[in-house]
Amino acid sequence: MAVKPILTEPNKILRQISKSVDKVRTEEQKLMNDMLDTMYAANGIGLAAIQIGVPKRIIVMDISKDPNKKEPRYFVNPVIKNKDLKKATYEEGCLSVPNQFAEIDRPSKCEVEYLDYNGKKQFLKAEGLLATCIQHEMDHLEGILFIDYLSKLKKSMIIKKLSKLKSNRAIL
């Protein structure tokens, strides 16, 4: 159980393509525990392993509204089997793009095949925030951030702002 530092843009590590997990072992379960601690500590609803610098295809998520009722979800090697043609728009944020938000269109529903915390094969039909969040997290596994869907201008303004924040932090 440990809260890890979350990498923020711009950082090349976030652009890596994460590798499949051959088997869910104790090592991966420990990683999932740390990811969940890190996600809760940062008040996020999802986290991909690469956000704490580990290039494995692992995601944790908890979209429950009540902080007293934890509903953690674990996804190892998730694959999207089906996407709805209909799109839904959500105001997205990302723990790796701090304090920046933008409306992003994504398929409103999707079906995902994955391994759970115990390495058991699972199938999930997702819609609403769950569908949006899974797709946001699966983008992380490919090195994609939500700002990549914005215009070049909007994206470059956000990256500029975040770079400045980083250089200020280096001075202080």
59 forms part of the interface with Ni ion (CB under 5 A)? no
Q: Which helix (DSSP H) or strand (DSSP E) does residue 159 occupy?
A: helix 152-171
Q: Give Rg (Cα) of the chain.
A: 16
Q: Which stretch binds Ni ion (CB under 5 A): 19-27, 53-61, 80-88, 92-100?
A: 92-100
Q: Which strands make up the sheet holding 121-127, listed edge to edge? A: 46-48, 58-61, 73-83, 109-115, 121-127
Q: Which does 54 bind (CB under 5 to 8 A by kind): Ni ion, ligand GNR, none?
A: none
User: For residues 134 and 124, what is the distance between their CA atoms, to the nearest angstrom?
Assistant: 11
92 forms part of the interface with ligand GNR (CB under 6 A)? yes
Token pair recorded at residue 104: 């992003």
Token pair recorded at residue 100: 């920046």
| In the complex, minimum distance from the CB of residue 10 to ligand GNR, in angstroms, rounded to a whole number | 15
Number of residues that bind ligand GNR (CB under 6 A): 17
Q: Which stretch binds Ni ion (CB under 5 A): 28-36, 76-84, 94-102, 107-115?
A: 94-102
Residues near Ni ion, by CB under 5 A: 94
**Binding-site ranges for ligand GNR (CB under 6 A):** 44-48, 51, 90, 92-96, 132-133, 136-137, 140
